[in-house]
Structure 1
Amino acid sequence: MEYETPLFFRVMQYADRADRDVIDMVSGNPDWEPPEALREGLGDYADFEPDRFQYPPSEGLVELREEIAARRNVDVEQVVVTNGAGEANYLAMARALERDRGDEVVLTDPVYPYYPGKTTMLGGRQRFVAADAEGQLDPAAVREVVGEETAAIVVNSPNNPTGAVYPEETIRELVAIAEEYDAVLVSDEVYDHFDLSGRFASALGVDSDHRIVTNAFSKSMAITGFRVGYAIFPPHLVENAKSRHMLVNVAGSRPAQYAVLRGLRETEPDYYERNRELLAERVETFTDALEDAGADYTTPQGSFYVMARFEDYPGTLENVERLIDEAGVAGMPGEAFGDSRADWLRFALVTPRVSAAAERLAAYFDR
């Protein structure tokens, strides 16, 4: 079995080697401050007794799992703290596939590239269903591709790369399809705090044994390097997930989990609201510049990505490298996200230099 290095890393490496100033709009690393309470919790940890520097419970600190369970209105035993949303999705997809209910994983097109990569790694087969021009997913289109071999349906809302936010009726229908075919809906909700539409609906709002919800604090608390995420499993799927987690990771970082717990308990809602407002301002600045440049573009309902299409400039890796060399802006090739957006480029708005990037792109394509 062969694996390819994700294009994210190839683009970032190319940008790092450039002999000019390059604005990074590739990675999803928030550039704003983490919560102050989280910083304080991490600082306090240095003075704890030696026993607090040893292994935590494999499935996560009890207090953190209890806090997550209370906020998500689930039983604490359903919660597994993971090494970011990446491991949470891995565990969820693994549990879906190892039930011997088929080996197909239904994914969207466009798709976050790590989902098909995990499917291959876990021995599954990929099936794709196209989202519409705005990134919305039609449950009727999903129903056309699922069948007896469908183990999982993997969705992401708010969505990377399209910025779509699925309404409650879509989520409910996707859970119903999973129930009908004895599949598992894996709902990745890592951008839930960046809903700009007011329409976000968690799959936890649907009572079902056929859905697993994954999330992380990486984006919402601007701590992608802490690697603290979680998955919420139905009771009959959780024990094997805990065993797999223990075999792969043993446990997660104890001080990182403690700091996140402090952040959850002591951070007021206005922290998240300020960051949403900042993101909304950047979306307006960036899309206004794309409008001036004559580009087609998406206006995200959530997450922090904008896709753009420039005339006669398809979203290939070669063109991304040209943009780095000649415009000093690094984005992601649309072809990385599937066939349907191969003519597009994706830009992450998590840089204070959004205005400068917009000006560079407008000037470059206005030549």
Structure 2
Amino acid sequence: MGDDAYDEPLFFQVMQYAARADRDVVGMVSGDPDWEPPQALRDGLREYADADSDQFQYPPSEGLRELRAEIAERRNVDPARVVVTNGAGEANYLTMARAMERGSGSEFLLTDPVYPYYPGKATMLGGEATKVPVLESGDPDVAAMREAASPETAAILVNTPNNPTGAVYDRETVEALHDVAAENDALLLVDEVYDHFDFSGDFESALTLDSDRVLVTSGYSKSMAITGFRVGYAVFPEELVPEAKTRHMLVNVATNRPGQVAVLRALRETSPDYYEGTRDMLRERIGSFTDALDAAGAAYTSPRGAFYVLARFEDFPGTLSNVETLIDEAGVAGMPGEAFGDAYADWIRFALVTPRADEAASRLADYFA
């Protein structure tokens, strides 16, 4: 599958195929959490519904002041560095645009496998995407990244905890990637949207490097189970903020106000127990799902973070055609490995964000038995 395949990611194509199937299908394609959001988030929405009408108007383009201050305190940065965005997706777009606008190259170094929207954004911005295969552990191959980097490299873009491998990069790895970026006058862009889903204890934000080459993105779609709210943010070095705010304003005007109000209340009032409870539930799902993959004779990744499992079935590569066959004949919908690059093209990715994960695992075990 060539780069053109990233022009229109396959997520919706697979979901639409599953929706048209003539049988019951367990959907494990997209990372839409199935668990409850924090109660405080619902409370914030109810409170907002009764607010004065002036609170229904445009918010500050860069985000509500109180929300930016809350994010900044949690991230130990100045609020002036925070831009609230329409999900982590826009945050990534803004950071990639800033990398291009510096005039120091137009190439993005990505891992292989990679979340498909990254190379899609690179192409949309007029840049090039170079994918570097990861190590067997799922961690970036820093030596290979260093070899691939050049004066044409605008940024190294990574995601930790990682979708789709489940790898969690330790501080030494992130610091080494930063050094590669610095050696080539490039930026290091780190998408940390799965930061609440670290099962290893090894995750440490790239912001702790305290470098003017580090840009970090995140959001609340996954951690609060609110993918439809589209509230994310980016943390920029101060000198890169003005142009990012301008682009955000020209493209979106602002981020939705009700979502920001609700997220702010949830941040202030939600106990750490909420997030730990979610991690415990996912640990159980991952364990039972991979047990069933053992029964199916599959190879698989054991995620140290996020909530995806990559599986490889003998003589059944992860092509779109085979994914459609699984939908039709096993009643399970996953994502073809070829959608994420070449390194795991023989694998299929399953998102463990359904209460029917055990049922899906049983179906796969029966199908491949």
The percent of aligned pairs where both chains have the same amino acid is 69
- Give the partner amino acid of 1:59: E
Structure 1, 272-281 or 138-147: larger mean CA deviation: 138-147
Instruction: Return the alpha-carbon distance in structure 2 between the equivalents of residues 320 and 2 of structure 1.
Output: 16
In structure 1, stretches of 5+ residues that fail to align are: none
Task: Map 1:322-333 onto structure 2 (within 5 A).
Answer: 322-333=325-336
Spell out, residue by residue over 1:278-308, the C-alpha distance to the aligned partner (whole angstroms, 9 max, x if none). 0000000000000111100000000000000
Task: Map 1:1-367 onto structure 2 (within 5 A).
Answer: 4-366=7-369
The TM-score, its normalising length taken from structure 2, stands at: 0.98
Spell out, residue by residue over 1:196-223, the C-alpha distance to the aligned partner (whole angstroms, 9 max, x if none). 1110121001010101000000000000
Q: Is the 8 A contact 1:171 1:201 kept in 2?
A: no
- Structure 1 runs of 4+ off > 6 angstroms? none
Spell out, residue by residue over 1:122-147, the C-alpha distance to the aligned partner (whole angstroms, 9 max, x if none). 00011121101221112222111111
Instruction: Return the alpha-carbon distance in structure 2 between the equivalents of residues 51 and 276 of structure 1.
Output: 39
In structure 2, stretches of 5+ residues that fail to align are: none
Instruction: Return the alpha-carbon distance in structure 1 between the equivalents of residues 241 and 267 of structure 2.
Output: 24
Q: Is the 8 A contact 2:6 2:119 kept in 1?
A: no
Instruction: Return the alpha-carbon distance in structure 2 between the equivalents of residues 179 and 257 of structure 1.
Output: 35
Q: Is the 8 A contact 2:5 2:339 kept in 1?
A: no
- Equivalenced residue count is 366
Instruction: Return the alpha-carbon distance in structure 2 between the equivalents of residues 259 and 27 of structure 1.
Output: 24
2:7 aligned counterpart, secondary structure? coil
Instruction: Return the alpha-carbon distance in structure 2 between the equivalents of residues 180 and 238 of structure 1.
Output: 23
Instruction: Return the alpha-carbon distance in structure 2 between the equivalents of residues 331 and 177 of structure 1.
Output: 35
Instruction: Return the alpha-carbon distance in structure 2 between the equivalents of residues 363 and 144 of structure 1.
Output: 44
Offset of 1:178 from its aligned partner?
1.5
Instruction: Return the alpha-carbon distance in structure 2 between the equivalents of residues 242 and 201 of structure 1.
Output: 27
Instruction: Return the alpha-carbon distance in structure 2 between the equivalents of residues 125 and 193 of structure 1.
Output: 31
1:193 aligned counterpart, secondary structure? coil
Instruction: Return the alpha-carbon distance in structure 1 between the equivalents of residues 296 and 137 of structure 2.
Output: 20
2:108 aligned counterpart, secondary structure? strand
Offset of 1:4 from its aligned partner?
3.4
2:216 aligned counterpart, secondary structure? strand
Instruction: Return the alpha-carbon distance in structure 2 between the equivalents of residues 264 and 283 of structure 1.
Output: 27
- Give the partner amino acid of 2:367: Y
Instruction: Return the alpha-carbon distance in structure 2 between the equivalents of residues 8 and 342 of structure 1.
Output: 15
- Give the partner amino acid of 1:189: E
Offset of 1:3 from its aligned partner?
7.2
Instruction: Return the alpha-carbon distance in structure 2 between the equivalents of residues 263 and 114 of structure 1.
Output: 28
Offset of 1:2 from its aligned partner?
10
Offset of 1:173 from its aligned partner?
1.1
Spell out, residue by residue over 1:48-100, the C-alpha distance to the aligned partner (whole angstroms, 9 max, x if none). 00000000000000000000000000000000000000000000000001111
- Give the partner amino acid of 1:238: V
1:340 aligned counterpart, secondary structure? coil
The TM-score, its normalising length taken from structure 1, stands at: 0.98
Instruction: Return the alpha-carbon distance in structure 2 between the equivalents of residues 2 and 224 of structure 1.
Output: 24
Spell out, residue by residue over 1:306-340, the C-alpha distance to the aligned partner (whole angstroms, 9 max, x if none). 00000000000000000000000000000000011
- Give the partner amino acid of 2:88: A
- Give the partner amino acid of 1:339: D
- Give the partner amino acid of 2:78: D
- Give the partner amino acid of 1:253: N
